[in-house]
Amino acid sequence: MNQANLREEISSRKTFAIISHPDAGKTTLTEKLLLFGGAIHEAGSVKARKAERYATSDWMELERQRGISITSSALQFKYQGYVINILDTPGHQDFSEDTYRTLTAADSAVMLIDAAKGIEAQTKKLFHVCRQRGIPIFTFVNKFDREAKDPLDLMDEVEKVLGIESYAMNWPIGMGQDFKGIYDRQTGMVERFTSGGGKKSSKPPVSGDINDPIVREGIGEDLLKQLHDEIELLDLAGNTFSQDRVDRGEVTPVFFGSALNNFGVPNFLHSFLNLAPAPQPRSTNQGILAPETETFSGYIFKIQANMNAQHRDRIAFIRICSGRYERGMNVIHTRSHRRLRLAQPQQLFAQERTILDEAYAGDIIGVHDSGLLRIGDVLTEKDGLQFEAMPFFSPENFARINIANALKRKQFIKGIQELQEEGAIHVFRDLHVGVEAPIIGVVGQLQFEVLEYRLREEYGVKVNIQHLPYEIVRWIDKNEKTVKLLSESSMSTVVLDKDENYAVLLLDDWKAKWLSERYEIEFYAQPQEPTVS
């Protein structure tokens, strides 16, 4: 393939993640983007339990039961000449580790805000991760068909709480029961709102130019005056639009709508595709790597076991950073320096997959993994390439896991190992206890519930979870005197991590500081030099 064709293919890719606080409507927005893009024919609202329709991106049974996303899904579809890769991330803060890693694979982010609640804790946390990476952020203010905060107050909140300038691409006309539609600031057109589940009117609302008498009549004088005043204020005192500043993550374009009713979603998608960046260059140990570089390279940002329960498969998600993938090509696994053949890479659509013949920088593909691959591993045609290190998250909740039925020991060990390799849990081995009763560390308590569920449903193993009082883990040098002292202390338990590095579980930061000062022990926030297998 010549350079011009390669550049054209790569420039058509749009790869983004959707971030939000739980219940802001993230999975619903994902579904409506897929519906509008023609990728699915019926959206499964996360509330439509009676009809047994579920969100396409929520493939795990527990997600369907709870109505939340607890795994990251990759969804790809084509629309108007673009190849769109959506990374749907867990909204719940207990799964922020998975979300943070997924954000490294995105070129931009869509920040979803609940119009009634404004900026919430998890949104703020995830926003700052995107900000640190300097990626463009687009804002969709959802649920304006319900009672909401004043839109000017929401714009002000975005700027004050998040510290980023905002620019309204469209503007809501009313809210809640009086929600009449949205006004497009670029075109002067009004799109009138019709509720999907509301009462049907014999006279449908009319969309069109704001100066059209029929359109104005349908809105009413009071809301027209309010719209005029607010737009005038935005034009005079609001921020100016700048594509360069959007690209640098300094200004966020803001859109209003209702994802549940698919209102404002088409407008948002059209604008987003025009404004969002194509795949961006990446920092490496060999300098900046351009996506149109002919040499193929990518890295693994996620591993998921048992996506297909019938086959007990294990899929590694790869973000392609440069070049072109061809079916059956050979690549080098840089951590082991082994040559691998990527025989059956798959285009992912949540749980559904199709075999790919080719893929380009910006695409997310899945490959079968026999156990060699780890999160952060690099696959490339030229050995020695390394991308920036994946973010490390130290667990804050700990529990000892005991198998209920000793005859299931083999399945238990396999399940713990595979879930550890996914990055879903941290596994520690007590120096005085065998592998049948490991200590598990997680970021959030809900992960224990998911662990128990997945061991039972995917591996046929029932377990007992004994919660431990420790709040932090620190790594230590392999020193016989230090290990003995901390092993005998009532404040700590010495363990080995997955790479046989010595670590210590501690009750809290204060006690860690006291032990460090009292016995001159140096604690590390993460492993210093993990053993490479």
3-state secondary structure 52-120: CCCCCCCCCHHHHHHCCCCCCEEEEEEECCEEEEEEECCCCHHHHHHHHHHHCCCCEEEEEEECCCECC
Residue 108: pLDDT above 70?
Answer: yes
Confidence band of 367 (pLDDT split at 50, 70, 90)? confident
Sheet holding 502-506, edge to edge: 463-467, 397-403, 439-442, 426-430, 492-496, 502-506, 472-475
Confidence band of 304 (pLDDT split at 50, 70, 90)? confident
Q: Is 328 annotated as a binding residue?
A: no
Q: Which residues partner with 504 through β-bridges?
A: 474, 494
Residue 233: pLDDT above 90?
Answer: yes
Please give the Cα distance from 454 to 60 (Å, whole number): 10
Asked whether 404 and 462 are in contact (CB, 8 A), the reply is yes
Q: Is 148 annotated as a binding residue?
A: no
CA-wise closest residue to 435 among 414, 407, 465: 414
Q: Which of 244-258, 292-306, 371-385: highest mean pLDDT? A: 244-258
Residue 131: pLDDT above 60?
Answer: yes
pLDDT score recorded for residue 203: 57
Q: Is 90 annotated as a binding residue?
A: yes
pLDDT score recorded for residue 87: 86
Q: Which CATH superfamily is domain 283-380 in?
A: P-loop containing nucleotide triphosphate hydrolases (3.40.50.300)
Q: Is 153 annotated as a binding residue?
A: no
Residue 62: pLDDT above 50?
Answer: no
Q: Looking at domain 16-72+90-96+104-277, which CATH architecture does it have?
A: 3-Layer(aba) Sandwich (3.40)
Mean pLDDT over 230-239 rounds to: 94
309 compared with 119, residue with greater pLDDT: 119
397-519 CATH = 3.30.70.3280
Q: Is 145 annotated as a binding residue?
A: yes
Q: Is 143 annotated as a binding residue?
A: yes
177 compared with 67, residue with greater pLDDT: 177
Residue 96: pLDDT above 90?
Answer: no
pLDDT score recorded for residue 533: 42
Asked whether 431 and 478 are in contact (CB, 8 A), the reply is no
Q: What count of other Cβ atoms lies within 10 Å of the Cβ of residue 31?
A: 30
Q: Is 104 annotated as a binding residue?
A: no
pTM listed for this prediction:
0.81
pLDDT score recorded for residue 432: 81
Please give the Cα distance from 267 to 193 (Å, whole number): 13
Mean pLDDT over 274-299 rounds to: 95
Confidence band of 350 (pLDDT split at 50, 70, 90)? very low
Residue 355: pLDDT above 80?
Answer: no
Mean pLDDT over 80-108 rounds to: 78
Give me the residue spans of the domains in the chain: 16-72+90-96+104-277, 283-380, 397-519
Confidence band of 532 (pLDDT split at 50, 70, 90)? very low
% helix, strand, coil for the chain, step of 5: 30, 30, 40
Mean pLDDT in the chain?
85
Q: Which of 188-197, 245-254, 413-422: highest mean pLDDT? A: 245-254
Mean pLDDT over 344-373 rounds to: 77
Q: Could you give the angle at the alpha carbon of 300 between the alpha carbons of 297 and 306, nearest 5°?
A: 135
Confidence band of 431 (pLDDT split at 50, 70, 90)? confident
Q: Is 23 annotated as a binding residue?
A: yes
Mean pLDDT over 477-492 rounds to: 92
Q: Is 25 annotated as a binding residue?
A: yes
pLDDT score recorded for residue 58: 46
Q: Is 408 annotated as a binding residue?
A: no
Asked whether 122 and 112 are in contact (CB, 8 A), the reply is no
pLDDT score recorded for residue 90: 64
Q: Which of 64-78, 410-424, 466-480: highest mean pLDDT? A: 466-480
Both tokens assigned to 142:
């959802």
pLDDT score recorded for residue 21: 81
Q: Tell me whether domains 16-72+90-96+104-277 and 283-380 share a fold.
A: yes
Mean pLDDT over 69-93 rounds to: 72
Mean pLDDT over 480-495 rounds to: 93
Query: Torsion over CA of 352, 355, 360 and 363, rounded to 10 degrees?
Result: 10
Residue 243: pLDDT above 70?
Answer: yes
Q: Is 27 annotated as a binding residue?
A: yes
Mean pLDDT over 452-479 rounds to: 93
Residue 60: pLDDT above 70?
Answer: no
pLDDT in tens, 31-58: 888 887 776 644 443 333 333 444 544 4
Please give the Cα distance from 182 to 204 (Å, whole number): 16
Q: Is 279 annotated as a binding residue?
A: no
Q: Is 21 annotated as a binding residue?
A: yes
Q: Is 24 annotated as a binding residue?
A: yes
